[in-house]
Amino acid sequence: MRHRQSRPISFVTLAAALIAVFIAAVPGYGVRRAPAAERPLSDAQIAKINGWIADKGRDIAVSAVMTDILGLTKDNQSISCHAFAAADNSSGDIHQIYLLPGGKGYLGVHFHQDNVDVYWADKDFVLIAALSGVRGQLPAATSFAQARLGFGDEMAWWAKYADTH
């Protein structure tokens, strides 16, 4: 019987194997979309929001910087869409929902103090990507874990608004 001579494992091979194990072990790692089961709004709430966008909304140009960061556009292209805004009288915050063209879903925008949070969701309001920014500075992509928390709060606000209006 011949014995095989073992060769040392290269650092690259070892690193690739460890990364593969990490990705396999961490649920949802590297996945940008939330599972469909986590849809934050009911059909009735979505229908109300769509009605407000259609009946009371306005055409708005969305900043090319924001759409590039979110991955909606490339090379500084801007898009226009129809949007509805509502104010939170208790905090003074402004909440907006934009219906994106071409069936690309929605943007949920929350202005609070000098900050803005923007969430891109699909047609069922399932989170795809997010960014945040401070007035006078360039916005930046938000980590998906952080975005899920903020998006959950924003969709809870819209759910309550839809249920009470």
Q: What is the structure's pLDDT at 21? A: 35
The torsion of the CA quartet 58, 72, 130, 88, rounded to 10 degrees, works out to 0
Q: What is the structure's pLDDT at 135? A: 86
3 state DSSP class of 116? strand
Instruction: Report whether 97 contacts 84 (CB < 8 A).
Output: yes
Q: What is the structure's pLDDT at 100? A: 96
Residues of the chain with pLDDT under 50: 3-37
Instruction: Report whether 98 contacts 107 (CB < 8 A).
Output: yes
Q: What is the structure's pLDDT at 38? A: 66
DSSP conformation class of 38: G
Angle among Cα 107, 46, 63 to the nearest 5 degrees reads: 10
Beta-strand ranges (E) seen in the chain are 58-62, 79-87, 94-99, 106-112, 115-121, 127-134, 140-141
Q: What is the structure's pLDDT at 114? A: 92
| pTM (2 d.p.) | 0.76
